[in-house]
Chains A and B, each alone.
Chain A
């Protein structure tokens, strides 16, 4: 029967659209409503004994596509201005400090409760220390620009740095000078590759005359991300750099760049790409959070050990965030509250279980 899936998919997207309208009016994040709907759907499915496929297999893929589109959508909105350098430094500092200190704290919790090695505990702790831009960016979409931009930069930096640190912990059983140097080298390589690929993508965009070109660009980005992920490289840097470069291409005062990469319809293309990315991200987000909610096991909250381990983790996440934001960046409200942990731990745990 083809009609039932069509009705379900259509109804879910309409629900998601309605949630967006509710979010606009109430500032209640639409992603939380989607999660709640996903959890709520478990009950009628169980009650009527409906057969559903195993969604946990597609969830990491959907989450990754959503993450790429959300970061691209966010970076296509970021105007680079000299006055913003301070805010960018602040958000980078916040992302790095909070990530590392929270990860070390949670490592202690895992080390104490599980008796696993330090590196294994650290590996498990890193995903809990990353601020998920896939939730943070849509959640702050209605805040004023200055507040929104800090969160967009901080959560994207947190995702990028988190992937770097996670991969570092993954391939190194022990931390040595050599392994740290290799990490530094990896960062240099990815930055150089980012610049080269951004130029290539911009060049391709300027030369394409076919009426379908934005999905080609998005597909190339997905391809690059996939290859990078296979090699354990933080290719989210490329996604963010491409969005930033495209948005701010007219600010680059280099003759050869202007000659070969800027073209007449760039502004119109940028507008269309932003629109398309936003709509695609909306669909990916809708299904990721619905399915994510649907696969959550609510009964697991009844286990005492879940609370023994979970509460210290939650306490650490917000304690470190409070200390850094209150005393270093002097930003507090609502930045302190925006620390979603979601995409990376879920993708990792669901993908490898």
Chain B
């Protein structure tokens, strides 16, 4: 367990920029909009 705590995560999570995170979040959010808007015809419970 000591091994787990001693790993410097910030050194290993450094290969993706915040811009990429933003772009992916934005794109997947728009896909949800497309899916849920398109699902309008589904009847309510």
Taking a contact as CB atoms under 8 Å apart, the answer to whether A349 and B13 are in contact is yes
Taking a contact as CB atoms under 8 Å apart, the answer to whether B22 and A301 are in contact is yes
Q: Does A162 contact B (CB under 8 A)?
A: no
Closest B residue, CB atoms, query A309: B20
- The secondary structure that dominates the A interface is helix
Taking a contact as CB atoms under 8 Å apart, the answer to whether B38 and A333 are in contact is yes
Taking a contact as CB atoms under 8 Å apart, the answer to whether B32 and A35 are in contact is no
In residues 11-42 of chain B, which contact A (Cβ within 8 Å)? 12-13, 15-25, 27-40, 42
A317→B42 CA distance, assembly (Å): 25
Known: A28-B33, A143-B36. A310 touches B7 (CB 8 A): no
CB-CB under 8 A from B35, the residues of chain A are 333-338
A298→B34 CA distance, assembly (Å): 22
Taking a contact as CB atoms under 8 Å apart, the answer to whether A345 and B21 are in contact is yes
Proximity string of chain A (282-312) to chain B, C-beta cutoff 8 Å, 1 when within and 0 when not? 0000000000000011101101011101100
Q: Interface size of A by Cβ–Cβ distance < 8 Å?
A: 59
What are 30 A-B pairs with beta-carbon distances under 8 A? A27-B40, A28-B33, A29-B32, A31-B29, A32-B29, A32-B30, A32-B32, A32-B33, A128-B24, A143-B36, A143-B39, A144-B43, A147-B39, A147-B42, A170-B9, A170-B12, A171-B4, A171-B7, A231-B1, A297-B18, A297-B22, A301-B22, A307-B23, A309-B20, A317-B28, A333-B35, A340-B25, A342-B28, A342-B29, A352-B13
Residue ranges of A at the interface with B (Cβ–Cβ < 8 Å): 26-29, 31-32, 35, 110, 114, 116, 120-121, 123-124, 128, 135-136, 139-140, 142-145, 147, 170-171, 231-232, 296-298, 300-301, 303, 305-307, 309-310, 313-314, 317-318, 333-342, 345-346, 348-349, 352-353
